Structure 1
Amino acid sequence: MIGYYGDIHFETNDSRILTFSDFQRNTASRWAKHEVIGKKPTSEFIGPDLDTISFTIQLNGQYGVHPLKEMDRWLVKARAGSAAKLVIGNKFLGVDKWVVKSVSQMWGTILNKGQVLSGNLDIELEEYVERV
Protein backbone atom coordinates (compact mmCIF):
# COMPACT_ATOMS: atom_id res chain seq x y z
CA MET A 1 0.00 0.00 0.00
CA ILE A 2 1.26 3.47 -0.91
CA GLY A 3 -0.91 5.26 1.63
CA TYR A 4 -4.45 6.36 2.34
CA TYR A 5 -6.80 9.27 2.87
CA GLY A 6 -9.62 8.16 5.16
CA ASP A 7 -11.14 5.07 3.53
CA ILE A 8 -9.46 5.62 0.13
CA HIS A 9 -6.38 3.43 -0.20
CA PHE A 10 -3.66 4.20 -2.72
CA GLU A 11 -2.14 0.96 -3.91
CA THR A 12 -0.53 -0.91 -6.76
CA ASN A 13 -0.81 -4.66 -7.10
CA ASP A 14 -1.57 -7.29 -9.74
CA SER A 15 -5.29 -6.55 -9.82
CA ARG A 16 -5.57 -2.82 -9.01
CA ILE A 17 -3.66 0.40 -9.57
CA LEU A 18 -4.87 3.49 -7.71
CA THR A 19 -2.08 5.96 -7.13
CA PHE A 20 -1.31 9.64 -7.59
CA SER A 21 1.24 11.88 -9.27
CA ASP A 22 2.36 15.50 -9.09
CA PHE A 23 2.12 15.51 -5.30
CA GLN A 24 2.76 19.03 -4.00
CA ARG A 25 2.70 20.30 -0.41
CA ASN A 26 2.63 24.03 0.36
CA THR A 27 3.47 25.54 3.72
CA ALA A 28 3.04 29.22 4.60
CA SER A 29 3.15 31.50 7.59
CA ARG A 30 0.82 34.29 8.71
CA TRP A 31 2.12 37.83 9.09
CA ALA A 32 0.55 41.14 10.16
CA LYS A 33 1.76 44.43 8.74
CA HIS A 34 1.58 47.43 11.08
CA GLU A 35 1.61 50.84 9.45
CA VAL A 36 4.06 53.43 10.85
CA ILE A 37 3.74 57.10 9.87
CA GLY A 38 6.72 58.27 7.82
CA LYS A 39 8.47 54.89 7.90
CA LYS A 40 8.18 51.47 6.40
CA PRO A 41 5.61 49.19 8.00
CA THR A 42 6.73 46.71 10.64
CA SER A 43 6.01 43.02 10.30
CA GLU A 44 4.77 40.73 13.06
CA PHE A 45 4.78 36.95 12.85
CA ILE A 46 1.32 35.68 13.79
CA GLY A 47 1.95 31.95 13.39
CA PRO A 48 1.93 29.12 10.88
CA ASP A 49 -0.83 28.90 8.30
CA LEU A 50 -2.66 25.74 7.23
CA ASP A 51 -0.74 23.56 4.78
CA THR A 52 -2.25 22.53 1.46
CA ILE A 53 -1.58 19.45 -0.64
CA SER A 54 -2.50 18.87 -4.26
CA PHE A 55 -2.11 15.82 -6.47
CA THR A 56 -3.52 14.13 -9.55
CA ILE A 57 -5.07 10.67 -9.62
CA GLN A 58 -5.06 8.91 -12.97
CA LEU A 59 -7.94 6.45 -13.23
CA ASN A 60 -8.07 3.65 -15.76
CA GLY A 61 -10.71 0.94 -15.85
CA GLN A 62 -8.18 -1.47 -17.35
CA TYR A 63 -6.31 -1.43 -14.02
CA GLY A 64 -9.07 -2.64 -11.71
CA VAL A 65 -10.73 0.67 -10.79
CA HIS A 66 -14.10 2.13 -11.73
CA PRO A 67 -13.28 5.74 -12.67
CA LEU A 68 -16.77 7.18 -12.04
CA LYS A 69 -17.08 5.44 -8.68
CA GLU A 70 -13.68 6.80 -7.59
CA MET A 71 -14.62 10.28 -8.81
CA ASP A 72 -17.88 10.11 -6.86
CA ARG A 73 -16.06 9.07 -3.66
CA TRP A 74 -13.94 12.23 -3.78
CA LEU A 75 -16.95 14.38 -4.70
CA VAL A 76 -18.86 13.11 -1.66
CA LYS A 77 -15.88 13.87 0.60
CA ALA A 78 -15.64 17.43 -0.72
CA ARG A 79 -19.36 18.08 -0.28
CA ALA A 80 -19.55 16.50 3.18
CA GLY A 81 -16.76 18.61 4.64
CA SER A 82 -15.43 15.68 6.64
CA ALA A 83 -11.83 15.52 7.82
CA ALA A 84 -9.59 12.45 7.61
CA LYS A 85 -6.00 11.40 8.21
CA LEU A 86 -3.58 11.40 5.28
CA VAL A 87 -0.83 8.79 5.36
CA ILE A 88 1.89 8.26 2.76
CA GLY A 89 4.02 5.21 3.42
CA ASN A 90 4.12 4.99 7.20
CA LYS A 91 4.09 8.76 7.73
CA PHE A 92 1.10 10.76 8.94
CA LEU A 93 1.14 14.14 7.20
CA GLY A 94 0.11 17.34 8.94
CA VAL A 95 -0.70 18.17 12.53
CA ASP A 96 -4.06 16.39 12.59
CA LYS A 97 -6.38 15.80 9.63
CA TRP A 98 -7.13 17.08 6.13
CA VAL A 99 -10.29 18.23 4.33
CA VAL A 100 -10.99 18.06 0.60
CA LYS A 101 -11.07 21.68 -0.58
CA SER A 102 -11.61 20.96 -4.26
CA VAL A 103 -12.06 18.14 -6.75
CA SER A 104 -11.67 18.58 -10.49
CA GLN A 105 -12.81 15.74 -12.74
CA MET A 106 -11.59 15.11 -16.29
CA TRP A 107 -13.42 12.35 -18.10
CA GLY A 108 -11.04 10.81 -20.62
CA THR A 109 -12.27 7.84 -22.63
CA ILE A 110 -16.05 7.36 -22.59
CA LEU A 111 -17.58 4.14 -23.90
CA ASN A 112 -21.08 3.09 -24.91
CA LYS A 113 -23.89 4.17 -22.55
CA GLY A 114 -21.63 6.77 -20.91
CA GLN A 115 -19.31 4.33 -19.19
CA VAL A 116 -16.09 6.16 -18.31
CA LEU A 117 -13.03 4.00 -19.01
CA SER A 118 -10.40 6.54 -17.99
CA GLY A 119 -10.01 9.97 -16.48
CA ASN A 120 -8.14 12.16 -14.04
CA LEU A 121 -8.91 13.74 -10.70
CA ASP A 122 -7.14 16.85 -9.45
CA ILE A 123 -7.46 16.95 -5.67
CA GLU A 124 -6.68 19.78 -3.26
CA LEU A 125 -6.53 19.09 0.47
CA GLU A 126 -6.24 21.62 3.28
CA GLU A 127 -4.94 20.88 6.73
CA TYR A 128 -7.63 20.72 9.42
CA VAL A 129 -6.63 21.34 13.01
CA GLU A 130 -9.32 20.41 15.50
CA ARG A 131 -9.47 22.61 18.57
CA VAL A 132 -10.06 21.07 21.99
Structure 2
Amino acid sequence: MIGFFGDIVFEANDKRILTFAGFQRNSSGRWVSHELIGRRPVTERIGPGLDTISFTITLNGNHGVKPRHEMERWLIKERDGLAETLVIGNKGLGVSKWVVKSVSQMWDVVLNKGEVFSGKVDIELEEYVEVL
Protein backbone atom coordinates (compact mmCIF):
# COMPACT_ATOMS: atom_id res chain seq x y z
CA MET A 1 0.00 0.00 0.00
CA ILE A 2 1.27 3.43 -0.97
CA GLY A 3 -1.26 5.33 1.09
CA PHE A 4 -4.91 6.34 1.23
CA PHE A 5 -7.37 9.22 1.22
CA GLY A 6 -10.44 8.23 3.20
CA ASP A 7 -11.60 4.95 1.66
CA ILE A 8 -9.56 5.29 -1.55
CA VAL A 9 -6.41 3.19 -1.30
CA PHE A 10 -3.37 3.93 -3.46
CA GLU A 11 -1.64 0.67 -4.25
CA ALA A 12 0.42 -1.17 -6.80
CA ASN A 13 0.37 -4.96 -6.80
CA ASP A 14 -0.13 -7.83 -9.25
CA LYS A 15 -3.94 -7.40 -9.16
CA ARG A 16 -4.47 -3.66 -9.02
CA ILE A 17 -2.61 -0.46 -9.82
CA LEU A 18 -4.04 2.78 -8.47
CA THR A 19 -1.27 5.33 -8.04
CA PHE A 20 -0.72 9.03 -8.53
CA ALA A 21 1.86 11.17 -10.31
CA GLY A 22 2.83 14.81 -10.22
CA PHE A 23 2.20 15.10 -6.49
CA GLN A 24 2.63 18.74 -5.52
CA ARG A 25 2.12 20.34 -2.11
CA ASN A 26 1.88 24.12 -1.74
CA SER A 27 2.12 26.04 1.50
CA SER A 28 1.97 29.78 2.09
CA GLY A 29 1.45 32.32 4.83
CA ARG A 30 -1.36 34.86 5.10
CA TRP A 31 -0.30 38.47 4.82
CA VAL A 32 -2.14 41.79 4.92
CA SER A 33 -1.04 45.27 3.88
CA HIS A 34 -2.15 48.24 5.99
CA GLU A 35 -2.50 51.40 3.94
CA LEU A 36 -0.97 54.56 5.40
CA ILE A 37 -1.56 58.08 4.12
CA GLY A 38 1.56 59.52 2.54
CA ARG A 39 3.68 56.45 3.32
CA ARG A 40 4.25 52.98 2.01
CA PRO A 41 1.89 50.26 3.21
CA VAL A 42 2.95 48.25 6.25
CA THR A 43 2.96 44.47 5.72
CA GLU A 44 1.94 42.15 8.54
CA ARG A 45 1.92 38.37 8.71
CA ILE A 46 -1.37 37.22 10.20
CA GLY A 47 -0.63 33.49 10.25
CA PRO A 48 -0.22 30.35 8.23
CA GLY A 49 -2.46 29.62 5.26
CA LEU A 50 -4.08 26.38 4.23
CA ASP A 51 -1.88 23.96 2.30
CA THR A 52 -3.03 22.54 -1.02
CA ILE A 53 -2.08 19.30 -2.72
CA SER A 54 -2.58 18.37 -6.34
CA PHE A 55 -1.88 15.16 -8.24
CA THR A 56 -2.98 13.14 -11.25
CA ILE A 57 -4.24 9.57 -11.22
CA THR A 58 -3.90 7.60 -14.45
CA LEU A 59 -6.54 4.89 -14.71
CA ASN A 60 -6.37 1.88 -17.01
CA GLY A 61 -8.78 -1.04 -17.25
CA ASN A 62 -5.83 -3.40 -17.75
CA HIS A 63 -4.66 -2.59 -14.21
CA GLY A 64 -7.58 -4.01 -12.27
CA VAL A 65 -9.56 -0.78 -11.93
CA LYS A 66 -12.74 0.52 -13.49
CA PRO A 67 -11.75 4.05 -14.56
CA ARG A 68 -15.25 5.55 -14.63
CA HIS A 69 -16.04 4.13 -11.20
CA GLU A 70 -12.81 5.54 -9.73
CA MET A 71 -13.51 8.94 -11.29
CA GLU A 72 -17.00 8.94 -9.79
CA ARG A 73 -15.63 8.17 -6.33
CA TRP A 74 -13.53 11.38 -6.44
CA LEU A 75 -16.46 13.39 -7.81
CA ILE A 76 -18.67 12.22 -4.94
CA LYS A 77 -15.98 13.21 -2.42
CA GLU A 78 -15.83 16.70 -3.94
CA ARG A 79 -19.61 17.10 -3.92
CA ASP A 80 -20.07 15.72 -0.39
CA GLY A 81 -17.37 18.03 1.01
CA LEU A 82 -16.31 15.61 3.74
CA ALA A 83 -12.94 16.18 5.39
CA GLU A 84 -10.79 13.03 5.37
CA THR A 85 -7.30 11.93 6.33
CA LEU A 86 -4.54 11.72 3.73
CA VAL A 87 -1.79 9.22 4.46
CA ILE A 88 1.24 8.53 2.26
CA GLY A 89 3.47 5.73 3.50
CA ASN A 90 2.80 5.51 7.21
CA LYS A 91 2.53 9.27 7.77
CA GLY A 92 -0.45 11.55 7.70
CA LEU A 93 -0.01 14.77 5.77
CA GLY A 94 -1.01 18.16 7.12
CA VAL A 95 -2.18 19.40 10.47
CA SER A 96 -5.55 17.69 10.30
CA LYS A 97 -7.69 16.57 7.38
CA TRP A 98 -8.22 17.46 3.72
CA VAL A 99 -11.20 18.21 1.47
CA VAL A 100 -11.44 17.67 -2.27
CA LYS A 101 -11.57 21.16 -3.79
CA SER A 102 -11.70 20.15 -7.45
CA VAL A 103 -11.83 17.12 -9.72
CA SER A 104 -11.06 17.16 -13.44
CA GLN A 105 -11.72 14.06 -15.54
CA MET A 106 -10.22 13.16 -18.90
CA TRP A 107 -11.63 10.13 -20.69
CA ASP A 108 -8.96 8.76 -23.03
CA VAL A 109 -10.49 5.54 -24.43
CA VAL A 110 -14.23 4.88 -24.32
CA LEU A 111 -15.49 1.45 -25.40
CA ASN A 112 -18.87 0.14 -26.47
CA LYS A 113 -21.81 1.19 -24.27
CA GLY A 114 -19.80 4.06 -22.77
CA GLU A 115 -17.35 2.01 -20.75
CA VAL A 116 -14.30 4.13 -19.98
CA PHE A 117 -11.25 1.94 -20.55
CA SER A 118 -8.60 4.51 -19.69
CA GLY A 119 -8.38 8.07 -18.50
CA LYS A 120 -6.98 10.49 -15.98
CA VAL A 121 -8.35 12.38 -13.05
CA ASP A 122 -6.72 15.53 -11.67
CA ILE A 123 -7.34 16.09 -7.97
CA GLU A 124 -6.87 19.20 -5.85
CA LEU A 125 -7.07 18.89 -2.06
CA GLU A 126 -7.13 21.69 0.50
CA GLU A 127 -6.21 21.37 4.14
CA TYR A 128 -9.18 21.43 6.49
CA VAL A 129 -8.69 22.63 10.05
CA GLU A 130 -11.54 21.68 12.40
CA VAL A 131 -10.66 23.73 15.49
CA LEU A 132 -10.87 27.52 15.65
Q: Place the TM-score, normalised by the shorter chain, in its bin.
A: over 0.9
C-alpha separation in 2, matches of 1:12 and 1:81 = 27
Equivalent residue for 2:59?
59
Q: Report the aligned-residue RMSD.
A: 0.7
Q: SS at 1:84's partner residue?
A: coil
Alignment of 1:42-81 (within 5 A): 42-81=42-81
Aligned-pair distance for 1:99?
0.1
Equivalent residue for 2:37?
37
Q: What amino acid does structure 2 have at the position aligned with 1:79?
A: R
Q: What amino acid does structure 2 have at the position aligned with 1:23?
A: F
Identity %: 67
Structure 2: unaligned runs, 5 residues or longer:
none
Q: What amino acid does structure 1 have at the position aligned with 2:30?
A: R
Q: SS at 1:68's partner residue?
A: helix
Q: What amino acid does structure 2 have at the position aligned with 1:7?
A: D
Aligned-pair distance for 1:91?
1.2
Q: SS at 2:109's partner residue?
A: coil
C-alpha separation in 1, matches of 2:8 and 2:115 = 22
Q: SS at 2:116's partner residue?
A: coil
Report Cα offsets for 1:11-59 as digits up to 9, x if no partner: 0000100000000000011011011121111011100000000000000
Q: What amino acid does structure 2 have at the position aligned with 1:32?
A: V
Structure 1: unaligned runs, 5 residues or longer:
none
Task: Give the total of aligned pairs.
Answer: 132
Equivalent residue for 1:103?
103
C-alpha separation in 1, matches of 2:17 and 2:123 = 17
TM-score (norm 1): 0.98
Q: What amino acid does structure 1 have at the position aligned with 2:25?
A: R
Q: SS at 1:113's partner residue?
A: helix
Equivalent residue for 2:7?
7
